[in-house]
């Protein structure tokens, strides 16, 4: 029998109350995710950074500005899509997520995905891509290629923050978002 979907409000309350890993101790607040609950495209990033932790919203600050500009290239805006992260709390000093944190937190992302039931999952960067595709292949090889994970079409892309420090990534991001726009028209 198909498992019932958990409403997003209920999931958000579960995340807000979560103390299942030590990241709860350092957070200002949890960052559940944001956007259209019926989105055709779910974007999955890595974890909240400083600004996200302060505001409780994913992809604000410079990485958020990059993402907004890139969404426009694909013919999308923030209200069209849903944006979430692998982890719901900020790792100290923006360090990488640890395997045990990913393991304990990702049931929330799994339930979000079941409830939103998108057609496309766009994974932003290595951590989201490796988790969703269950692969050890890195984002450098996978970005810009369409994959399947169960019934979901998965499109890995560099993390928009990567272009803040490495402008060569910006061109790849622009190309991948342009291709995403084509896929959304075609598929």
Nearer to ligand SF4 (CB atom), residue 105 or residue 184: 105
Nearer to ligand SF4 (CB atom), residue 18 or residue 149: 18
Nearer to ligand SF4 (CB atom), residue 30 or residue 66: 30
Nearest distance from residue 97's CB to ligand SF4, in Å?
Answer: 8
Nearest distance from residue 98's CB to ligand SF4, in Å?
Answer: 10
Distance CA 62, CA 147 (A): 28
Instruction: Say which residue the tokens 């969404």 belong to.
Output: 71
Asked if 88 and 46 count as a contact pair (C-beta separation under 8 A), the reply is no
Nearest distance from residue 132's CB to ligand SF4, in Å?
Answer: 17
Nearest distance from residue 102's CB to ligand SF4, in Å?
Answer: 9
Residues that bind ligand SF4 (CB under 6 A): 15, 18-21, 23-24, 30, 87-89, 101, 104-105
Beta strand residue intervals within the chain, DSSP E: 34-35, 41-45, 82-85, 120-124, 147-149, 152-157
Helix or strand (DSSP H, E) at 71 = helix 61-73
């Amino acid at each position: 029998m198909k498992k019932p979907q958990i409403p997003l409000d209920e999931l958000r309350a579960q995340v807000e109350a979560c103390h299942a890993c030590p990241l709860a101790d350092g957070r200002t607040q949890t960052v559940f995710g944001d956007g259209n609950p019926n989105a055709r495209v779910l974007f999955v990033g890595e974890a909240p950074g400083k600004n996200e932790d302060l505001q409780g919203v994913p992809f604000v600050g410079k990485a958020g500005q990059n993402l907004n500009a890139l969404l426009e290239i694909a013919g999308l805006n923030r209200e069209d899509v849903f944006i979430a992260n692998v982890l719901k709390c900020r790792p100290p000093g923006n360090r990488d997520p640890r395997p045990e944190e990913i393991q304990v937190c990702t049931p929330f992302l799994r339930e979000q995905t079941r409830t939103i039931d998108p057609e496309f999952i766009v994974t932003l960067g290595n951590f989201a891509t490796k988790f969703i595709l269950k692969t050890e292949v890195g984002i450098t090889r996978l970005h810009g290629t369409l994959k399947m994970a169960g019934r979901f079409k998965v499109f890995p892309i560099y993390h928009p923050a990567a272009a803040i420090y490495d402008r060569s990534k910006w061109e790849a991001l622009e190309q991948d978002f342009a291709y995403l726009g084509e896929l959304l028209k075609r598929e």
